[in-house]
Structure 1
Amino acid sequence: MTPGAIDAAGVARRFVVHARETSTLKELVLARGRTGAQEVWALRDVSLQVEPGESVGLVGRNGSGKSTLLRLVAGIIKPTRGRVAVGGRVGSLLELGAGFHPDFTGRENVFLNGSIQGLRRAEIRERFDEIVHFAELEDAIDRPVRTYSSGMYMRLGFAIAAFLQADVLLLDEVFAVGDEAFQRKCFGRIAQFKQAGGTIVFVSHDAAAVERLCTRAVLLREGEVAFDGGTHEAIARYRRQLAEDVDPAERSAGLREWGSGDATIDAARLLGADGAPREQVLAGEPLTLEIDVTARVPVAPPRLHVEIRDDAGVLVAEDGAGLGELGWPAGGGPVLVRLDLPRPPLEFGRFHLRVTLEGADGTGLLHTVDDALVFVVYPDGEGRGLVRLGGTWEPGANEGVR
C-alpha cells in the first residue's frame, strides 16, 4: 500500500457497556443477569479513503465516533466489521500523555514512546534534542513526568508525535490544551509536515483550526458519515446540528462557533477614541464595539446579543439590540453595527466577548461566537475589582445627626 494512504471500507465498531463493573469471579456470578450489559455501536458502515498528502478533518458532536475512527486508523483497536488499511508509519497524538509512565523521566518517556511507535533507539537519539527543544523542556527533561503540568505533558507528547518522521499523523483535540504561543508552534510544525507530503487526519471542535489545516472534512453523525467534502460545507452542516443547543457540551473541547448559519457574525473589533483597534485599554476611556454581520439568506431581522465575561466565565455585563432598526438588509447581505461606550464600567481584568444572533422572537439560534474578542482593562488609578461603581458622592441631610 502506498505510504500515507488510508483505506477504510465498511467499518463498524461495537462496544459492550456494563452498567456495573465486576472485578472478581464471585461478583460476576452474583451479578449474573443483573449487570445490564448493553451494545453500543460507535461506528456503522463507515468508508473513507484518504490519498497520500491529504489533510482531512473529522468533525461531529460528542459521541459521533470521531475518536473511535481515529483509533481504528492508528491500530489501537480493531473493527468489529470491515477493514482498515494504512500505508507507512503512523504517528499519533490521541490523548494527552498517552503511553507515558508517570514515574519515568521525560527523557525516558521519549525513548519509551518512540519505541512503542516503531523507532529504533538510534533514530530516537538523533531527534532527541529537537524534541526537547520544541517541547521547551530543557530544564525539566530529567524530572519524572508526574511532576509535569498538563501543558508540559501536552508539549512533550506533541513533540514526540511530530518528530517521528511518520507518513500519517493522527491528531485528536491536540490544540485543546496549551497556550496560544504553543498552538502557533504546533501549527507551524504541522504545516512543515504537510508541505513535506505527509497525510494528516485531524479531529477538533475548533472550526477555525479545521478550516485552517484541512481542505476536506468528514462529518460524522451517530457513527455514520453524514457528509464528506469541502471543509467549509462540513463545518456549516456541523454548526446546524448545534443550532438548537444554547450551550453545547462541546465548548469544553474547543468549540467556539455554532448556529444555523442563516446569518453570521463575521468579525468584532474594539476601537479606541482614535478609531484604532485595541486589545488593551485603560479603565474609563471611551470605546466603540464594531460587529460585522451578514445575512446569508433572506431572514427576518434578528436580535444581536453581546456578553462580557471574565476568565472564569462569570457574566460581567451584557447588552443587545434588534437589528431591524440598524439597517438590516431584507434581501440578504452585510451590515455593520456599532455600540458606543463613552465611559465603560470595566475597572480591571481580562475579558471575553461572546456575540450571539438569535431569531427576532427570541427563538432559533442563527450564530454564536465565543471569544469573538479578548481584551485587557488596566486601572487608571488605584481601582480594584472587575467594575467601577461610577457614582457621585454628595453630603447627605445632617438634621438630627449627633
Structure 2
Amino acid sequence: MGSIQVANLGKAYKQYPNRWSRLVEWLSPFGGVRHGLHWVLQDLNFTVNAGEAVGIVGMNGAGKSTLLKMITGTTQPTSGSVQVQGRIAALLELGMGFDPDFTGRQNAVMAGQLLGMTADEVKALMPQIQEFAEIGDYIDQPVRVYSSGMQMRLAFSVATVQRPDILIIDEALSVGDNYFQHKSFERIRAYSKLGTTLLIVSHDKGAVQGICDRAILLNAGQIALQGDPEAVMDYYNAMLAERGGATVQQTVSDDGKTQTVSGTGEARIAAAQLCDEAGRAVEVVKVGQPLELQATVQALKELPELVLGFQLKDRLGQVIYGTNTFHSHQIVEHVRAGENIHYRFRFPANVGHGSYSISLSLHDSDSHLGKNYEWRDRAIVFNVVNVDKQHFVGMNWLSTEADYTRA
C-alpha cells in the first residue's frame, strides 16, 4: 500500500536580471547574491492516504506538473519535503525516457528498469505489454516512427503491467484514441479497487469526478481548494469563467453538498423549480415522466443579450445533458435593468433511478466563458424512481421493444 505526504513544499527557480549576473555569481560565489527567486509552488500541504484516489486540477501554469515531478523525485524541492511509501509507477511527460532511435521493445525494457524491474522481468512480461499496447509489429520499430498515441500506449502498458503501490498520471492519456482511453481507465479503476493509490492530473471533469475520492485545485502555485471532487470541479469551472469583477462563492446546502455560485451579478436567477405536467413543483419524479423546468431571471443592469442554459447532472456531478436558449435560437436582446424574464424548458425524465441536480447559467453568446452573469450549481435537486417501466440498468431510459424468432 502506498501513501504520499507533502509538507510545506515549495519550488523556486533563480531569475537573473541578465546573463552577466549569472556569470559573475558563478565565478564569485562569495560576492553576494545576484538573483531573485520565482516561486512556482509554495507552502503545499496535503496527504494522499493508502488506497485513495486524488485528482490534481488547475489552469496551465498552476504548477501541477512540477508538483508531480517533485513527488516522483525527478525534481528536487526548494523548501519542504515529500515522503512517499510504496513503489511508484508514473506516466508524466509523453515518451519521457524513450530513446527515439531504439525500438519499442528496447525502450520498454529500459522504462521497466527505471520502474524498478530487472531486464529479465520486463522480458518475461513483454507478451502482456504487447497485448495491452496493441501496437503490433511496431514494437520492433524505432520509436521515432511512432505517433504520439502509440508512444502513450506503450508507456502506459509498461507503467501498469504490474500493479504499483502508487500510480501517477499527468494528462498523458489525453493524446490517446477513445478506445485506448476507455481501456486505460478500466485498468486504473481495477487497480484502485485492489488498493493502488492514484494521483491523477486531468482537465477531464468526468475522469476526476468518476474516479477520484478527493480533488485538489492549484492556483498560482498554491492550494486554492481541496475536498469533494464535484465541489472542487465546480469551483474550477467557475474560475475559468471569472471575468471583469466576477465572484465565486461556495455554500453548504442542507443535504451536506457544496453549491457553487459565480458571476458578475449583472443578472440573477430569482426563482427556479421543476414541475410536472400540471405545473406543480416536484422533488420526486417517475422515469420517463414529462417535466417542465421553470426559471425567473431578473436583469440588474442593461444587457445587450441574455441566454439561459441548464445542465442535468447525476449524483457524481457528471453532466448527462445540457442546452441553452442560444442553441434553441431564443436569445433575449436589449434587456432592460430591472426586467424579469420567465423561461420554461420541457423534457421527459428519460434517466435511470437515482439522485440528480440541475445547474443554471446566465450569460451572453453560446457559453458562460464569454460573459458569465451567473452560474448556479445544484440550483434544483430531485430524485427519480422507477414505478411503471420494466427493470433496466444504466443512466438513461430508452423505450425498447424486443422480439425473436426460432427456426
For Structure 1 versus Structure 2, the TM-score category normalised by the shorter chain is: 0.5 to 0.7
Query: Partner residue of 1:95?
Result: 93
SS of match in other structure, 1:175? helix
Give the Å deviation of 1:104: 0.3
Give the Å deviation of 1:165: 2.5
Give the Å deviation of 1:175: 2.7
Question: Contact conserved, 2:3 with 2:84, CA < 8 A, in 1?
Answer: yes
1:365/1:107 CA distance change after superposition, 3 Å: farther
SS of match in other structure, 2:61? coil
Query: Partner residue of 1:172?
Result: 170
Query: Partner residue of 2:322?
Result: none
Supply the distance in 2 between the matched residues of 1:57 and 1:12 (Cα, whole angstroms): 19
Give the Å deviation of 1:224: 1.0
SS of match in other structure, 2:90? strand
1:147/1:245 CA distance change after superposition, 3 Å: farther
Supply the distance in 1 between the matched residues of 2:182 and 2:220 (Cα, whole angstroms): 32
Aligned length: 287
Question: Contact conserved, 1:56 with 1:215, CA < 8 A, in 2?
Answer: yes
1:179 counterpart letter in structure 2: D
Query: Partner residue of 1:105?
Result: 103
Query: Partner residue of 2:385?
Result: none
Give the Å deviation of 1:337: 7.4
Among 201, 205, 209, the alignment partner of 2:203 is: 205
1:220/1:122 CA distance change after superposition, 3 Å: same
Quick one: percent identity of the two aligned structures? 38
TM-score normalised to the size of structure 1? 0.62
Give the Å deviation of 1:39: 2.5
1:17/1:154 CA distance change after superposition, 3 Å: farther
Question: Contact conserved, 2:6 with 2:83, CA < 8 A, in 1?
Answer: yes
Among 331, 334, 357, the alignment partner of 1:322 is: 331
1:147/1:15 CA distance change after superposition, 3 Å: same
Question: Contact conserved, 2:243 with 2:371, CA < 8 A, in 1?
Answer: no
Query: Partner residue of 2:194?
Result: 196
1:104/1:238 CA distance change after superposition, 3 Å: same
TM-score normalised to the size of structure 2? 0.62
Give the Å deviation of 1:130: 1.2
1:116/1:216 CA distance change after superposition, 3 Å: same
1:211/1:130 CA distance change after superposition, 3 Å: same
1:325/1:25 CA distance change after superposition, 3 Å: closer
Query: Partner residue of 1:358?
Result: 363
Question: Contact conserved, 1:114 with 1:124, CA < 8 A, in 2?
Answer: yes
Question: Contact conserved, 2:216 with 2:225, CA < 8 A, in 1?
Answer: yes
SS of match in other structure, 1:119? coil
1:105/1:364 CA distance change after superposition, 3 Å: same
Question: Contact conserved, 2:4 with 2:84, CA < 8 A, in 1?
Answer: yes
Q: Deviations over 1:80-115 (max 9, x none)?
A: 111101111100001111110000000000000111
SS of match in other structure, 2:343? coil
Supply the distance in 1 between the matched residues of 2:185 and 2:174 (Cα, whole angstroms): 13
SS of match in other structure, 1:114? helix
SS of match in other structure, 1:68? helix
| Gapped regions of structure 1 (runs ≥ 5) | 30-35, 247-257, 264-291, 306-316, 330-334, 339-354, 368-402
Give the Å deviation of 1:320: 3.6
Following superposition of structure 1 onto structure 2, how do residues 6-85 of structure 1 map, counting pairs within 5 Å?
A: 6-17=4-15, 39-85=37-83
Supply the distance in 2 between the matched residues of 1:110 and 1:10 (Cα, whole angstroms): 36
Supply the distance in 2 between the matched residues of 1:193 and 1:293 (Cα, whole angstroms): 41
2:343 counterpart letter in structure 1: W
Following superposition of structure 1 onto structure 2, how do residues 154-165 of structure 1 map, counting pairs within 5 Å?
A: 154-165=152-163
Query: Partner residue of 1:281?
Result: none
1:90/1:327 CA distance change after superposition, 3 Å: same
2:363 counterpart letter in structure 1: E
Give the Å deviation of 1:203: 0.4
Give the Å deviation of 1:154: 1.1
Give the Å deviation of 1:244: 2.9
Q: Deviations over 1:287-321 (max 9, x none)?
A: xxxxx9897xx85485058xxxxxxxxxxx97742
SS of match in other structure, 1:141? helix
SS of match in other structure, 1:62? coil
SS of match in other structure, 2:164? coil
2:167 counterpart letter in structure 1: L
Supply the distance in 1 between the matched residues of 2:196 and 2:60 (Cα, whole angstroms): 27
Following superposition of structure 1 onto structure 2, how do residues 154-303 of structure 1 map, counting pairs within 5 Å?
A: 154-244=152-242, 260=262, 300=298, 302-303=306-307
Give the Å deviation of 1:62: 1.2
1:21/1:214 CA distance change after superposition, 3 Å: farther
Supply the distance in 2 between the matched residues of 1:53 and 1:319 (Cα, whole angstroms): 45
Question: Contact conserved, 2:294 with 2:342, CA < 8 A, in 1?
Answer: no
Give the Å deviation of 1:364: 2.0
2:215 counterpart letter in structure 1: A
| Gapped regions of structure 2 (runs ≥ 5) | 28-33, 245-259, 270-291, 300-305, 310-325, 333-338, 349-359, 376-407
SS of match in other structure, 2:218? strand
SS of match in other structure, 1:163? coil
Give the Å deviation of 1:153: 0.8
1:356/1:119 CA distance change after superposition, 3 Å: same
1:365/1:151 CA distance change after superposition, 3 Å: farther
Question: Contact conserved, 1:106 with 1:141, CA < 8 A, in 2?
Answer: yes
Supply the distance in 1 between the matched residues of 2:294 and 2:40 (Cα, whole angstroms): 37
Give the Å deviation of 1:79: 1.0
1:80/1:182 CA distance change after superposition, 3 Å: same
Question: Contact conserved, 1:243 with 1:366, CA < 8 A, in 2?
Answer: no
Give the Å deviation of 1:195: 1.2
SS of match in other structure, 2:188? helix
